[in-house]
């Protein structure tokens, strides 16, 4: 039986059956053209061998893993570009997955786990996207301009170990060239790339429309100032890296990640600390990066790293606090405890960190530690269910949200006083509304409000109960009630990204844009990996504050050009600067995305979502000046 190591690319057409049902002849012709024009030539150019080429997919073997990855990225780009004029419901989109593994050769066919893993990675990819395995990522680092970010561990069918998955987000060189950034600025690619993920990995079929580079630069007046790394703040600052999972059990990743996240959450309660959000520190999960480099990129002085091993009822945790400026270990501890002592260990770690870097002292620190303990649980079963729920939450799908809700319900059944789990249950109903997954928006909001109030009743020091209730009021356009609740959550947890961001958004929308700008900017600093939505909302706040050039400059850092609101705020900002030609061009782009847009309908929709009357009138006048249809 012949074997060899190879890079395997698995590809599949998204919704092939539906495409054939809508337009069988056209789909067949377009797929054939894609194969002849792009797929087969690109594979041949990079020395790939087509193993299978079925009607809706392909399996390709490459001797070079770099060739395999660059081929996939180039194919997705070409396929996207070639179909810009095809109606959305008829566009062909591929998912692609790449693995590096041992294969069994039998005639012209190949078999084995290496092939199976590639197929599972393909299934995890988004339409128009590429997923790669950890070993692929390790091999291609520093050998290509393609950039990937970790998407987490996935347990997949017939593969015993969880897969650590990385998603394609950007071509560093192409992105820098497209945005007009020089070579030196391109070296800071990560900050731009994260704000431009949709530009580089376009979701085919979602209606995304991309403007040519020249037109884009003209409309956006792109800044070429370097982005990041961040300056270290005056207050003690810390990033908690994902703890390493040393447990042999394959399904323990959620437990270890949950411990890391909870330490971050607990530290973020201390008002005199600056704590980087988990969204940003988990970017480094599974990567061999020097602590000093991480600290420089995130703009912090201290870095906490550690490991967790759970074996039966025994728990082993190692933690070490590093001063990244001088490279010294300022505190380290090794814990061998019964698993039931986990909560005491977490509190000890938090207390040692805070005490060591001098953020709090005396009774103030002790009072905060007691509040942290009260909002958690001493019930390991409840905590385990809660962590499972958090791990499902991170996948951000309707199905996983339901699974998360079930875990939170089990956690609360095991410990009815577990305030944080009750708050997360409330948030799961809000996710239904945010994701447009709810069968009844009103029922989802009622459930969210019910459990948020219950979390507050159980523990008045649990910030996420107040936050959840405030978010629910935001969704009802009741900003006058939402803001005091989110302010309370912010006071209890001043370093939490989602709370600070939502509070900033609420202030900007409700008529206090300068306060909104301050909070949104602080939130982005807490989470350098902030989502693109936060960039667009900061631009919106700048517009309401009459800071139109700042709004345009901020919009240049996002690629949410598939959103009509993106173009409308760009149009409104140019109009207020009397740049009417650019304003009308931006309105034209919005109308290309949605030809039914009218000024009256847009303003009404925003007012129903809580936009203050003065803000609504400001936007109305600017869009009318930009030439938006009445």
Write the pLDDT tens digit of every residue in 378-399. 888 888 888 888 888 877 788 8
Select, from the ranges 26-40, 439-453, 529-543, 606-620, the one with the highest average predicted confidence (pLDDT): 439-453
pLDDT in tens, 344-366: 888 788 877 877 776 444 444 55
The pLDDT assigned to 72 comes to 93
**How far apart, in whole angstroms, are the C-alpha atoms of residue 233 and residue 298?**
11
Among 421, 400, 399, residue whose Cα is nearest residue 412: 421
Q: Is 578 a residue whose pLDDT tops 90?
A: yes
Q: Is 122 a residue whose pLDDT tops 70?
A: yes
Q: How many CA atoms lie within 13 A of 384 on its CB side?
A: 9
The pLDDT assigned to 370 comes to 58
Indicate the burial class of 53 (C-beta count within 10 angstroms; 0-12, 13-18, 19 or more). middle
Strands 146-154 and 163-171: antiparallel
**How far apart, in whole angstroms, are the C-alpha atoms of residue 76 and residue 148?**
15
Strands 314-323 and 302-311: antiparallel
**How far apart, in whole angstroms, are the C-alpha atoms of residue 346 and residue 240?**
13
* Predicted confidence band of residue 256 (pLDDT cuts 50, 70, 90): confident
What is the sign, positive or negative, of the torsion defined by CA atoms of 65, 70, 71, 75? positive
* Predicted confidence band of residue 249 (pLDDT cuts 50, 70, 90): low
Helix (H, G, I), strand (E, B) or coil at 82: helix
Secondary structure (H, E, C), 466-496: HHHHHHHHHHCCCHHHHHHHHHHHHHHCCCC
**Does the pTM exceed 0.85?**
no
Q: 230 near 271, Cβ under 8 Å?
A: no
DSSP for 402-468? Answer: HHHHHHHHHHHHH-TT-HHHHHHHHHHHHHHHHTT--S-HHHHHHHHHHHHHHHHHH-TT-HHHHHH
Among 503, 316, 496, residue whose Cα is nearest residue 420: 496
**How far apart, in whole angstroms, are the C-alpha atoms of residue 450 and residue 448?**
5
Q: Return mean pLDDT, the chain.
A: 79
Indicate the burial class of 257 (C-beta count within 10 angstroms; 0-12, 13-18, 19 or more). buried
pLDDT in tens, 183-216: 333 333 332 333 333 223 322 222 222 333 333 3
pLDDT in tens, 481-508: 999 999 999 988 888 888 898 899 889 8
The pLDDT assigned to 559 comes to 61
The pLDDT assigned to 227 comes to 31
pLDDT in tens, 547-577: 999 999 888 877 666 778 888 999 999 999 9
**How far apart, in whole angstroms, are the C-alpha atoms of residue 584 and residue 127?**
32
- Whole-number percent of the chain with pLDDT over 90: 23
Domains of the chain: 2-209 (3.30.70.1230), 237-376 (3.40.50.10610), 377-493 (1.25.40.10), 513-630 (1.25.40.10)
**How far apart, in whole angstroms, are the C-alpha atoms of residue 619 and residue 626?**
10
The pLDDT assigned to 155 comes to 67
- H/E stretch holding 309: strand 302-311
* Predicted confidence band of residue 55 (pLDDT cuts 50, 70, 90): low
């Amino acid at each position: 039986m012949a074997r060899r190591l190879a890079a395997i690319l698995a590809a599949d057409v998204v919704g092939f059956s539906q495409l054939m049902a809508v337009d069988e002849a056209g789909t067949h012709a377009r797929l054939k053209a894609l194969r002849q024009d792009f797929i087969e030539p690109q594979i041949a150019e990079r020395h790939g061998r087509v193993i299978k080429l079925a009607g809706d997919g392909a399996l390709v073997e490459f001797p070079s893993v770099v060739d395999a990855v660059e081929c996939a990225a180039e194919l997705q780009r070409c396929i996207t570009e070639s179909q810009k004029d095809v109606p959305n419901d008829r566009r062909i989109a591929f998912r692609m997955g790449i693995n590096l593994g041992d294969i069994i050769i039998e005639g012209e066919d190949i078999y084995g786990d290496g092939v199976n893993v590639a197929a599972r990675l393909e299934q995890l990819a988004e339409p128009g996207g590429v997923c790669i395995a950890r070993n692929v990522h390790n091999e291609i680092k520093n050998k290509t301009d393609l950039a990937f970010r970790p998407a987490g561990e996935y347990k997949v069918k017939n593969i015993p170990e969880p897969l650590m998955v990385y998603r394609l987000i950007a071509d560093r060189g192409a992105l820098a060239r497209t945005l007009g950034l020089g070579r030196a600025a391109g070296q800071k690619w990560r900050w731009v790339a994260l704000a431009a993920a949709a530009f580089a990995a376009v979701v085919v079929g979602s209606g995304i429309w991309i403007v040519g580079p020249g037109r884009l630069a003209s409309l956006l007046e792109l800044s070429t100032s370097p982005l990041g790394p961040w300056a270290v703040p005056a207050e003690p600052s810390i990033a908690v890296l994902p703890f390493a999972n040393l447990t042999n059990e394959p399904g323990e990743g959620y437990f270890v990640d949950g411990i890391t996240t909870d330490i971050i959450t607990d530290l973020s309660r201390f008002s005199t600390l600056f704590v980087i959000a988990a969204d940003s520190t988990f970017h480094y999960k599974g990567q061999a990066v020097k602590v000093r480099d991480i600290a420089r990129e995130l703009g912090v002085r201290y870095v906490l790293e550690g490991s967790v091993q759970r074996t039966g009822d025994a728990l082993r945790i190692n933690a070490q606090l590093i001063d990244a400026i001088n490279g010294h270990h300022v505190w380290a501890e090794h814990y061998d405890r019964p698993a039931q002592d986990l909560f005491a260990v977490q509190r000890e770690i938090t207390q040692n960190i805070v005490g060591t870097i001098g953020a709090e002292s005396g009774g103030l620190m002790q009072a905060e530690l007691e509040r942290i303990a009260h909002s958690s649980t001493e019930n390991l079963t409840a905590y385990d269910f809660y962590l499972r729920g958090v791990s499902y939450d991170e996948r951000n799908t309707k199905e996983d949200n339901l699974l998360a809700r079930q875990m939170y319900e089990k956690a609360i059944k095991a410990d009815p006083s577990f305030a944080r789990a009750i708050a997360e249950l409330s948030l799961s109903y809000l996710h239904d509304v945010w994701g447009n997954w709810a069968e009844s928006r009103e029922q989802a909001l009622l459930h969210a409000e019910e459990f948020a109030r219950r979390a507050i009743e159980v523990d008045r020091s649990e910030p996420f109960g107040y936050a959840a209730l405030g978010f629910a009021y935001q969704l009802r356009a009741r900003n006058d009630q939402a803001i005091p609740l989110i302010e309370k959550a912010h006071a209890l947890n001043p370093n939490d990204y989602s709370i600070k961001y939502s509070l900033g958004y609420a202030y900007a929308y409700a008529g206090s844009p300068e306060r909104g700008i301050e909070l949104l900017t602080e939130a982005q600093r807490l989470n350098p990996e902030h989502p693109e939505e936060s960039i667009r909302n900061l631009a919106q706040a700048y517009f309401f504050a009459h800071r139109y050039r700042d709004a345009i400059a901020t919009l240049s850092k996002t690629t949410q050009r598939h959103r009509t609101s993106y173009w409308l705020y760009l149009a409104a900002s140019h109009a207020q600067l009397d740049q009417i030609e650019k304003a009308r061009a931006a309105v034209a782009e919005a109308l290309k995305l949605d030809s039914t847009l009218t000024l009256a309908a847009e303003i009404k929709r925003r007012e129903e979502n809580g936009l203050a009357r003065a803000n609504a009138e400001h936007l109305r006048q600017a869009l009318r000046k930009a030439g938006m249809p009445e």
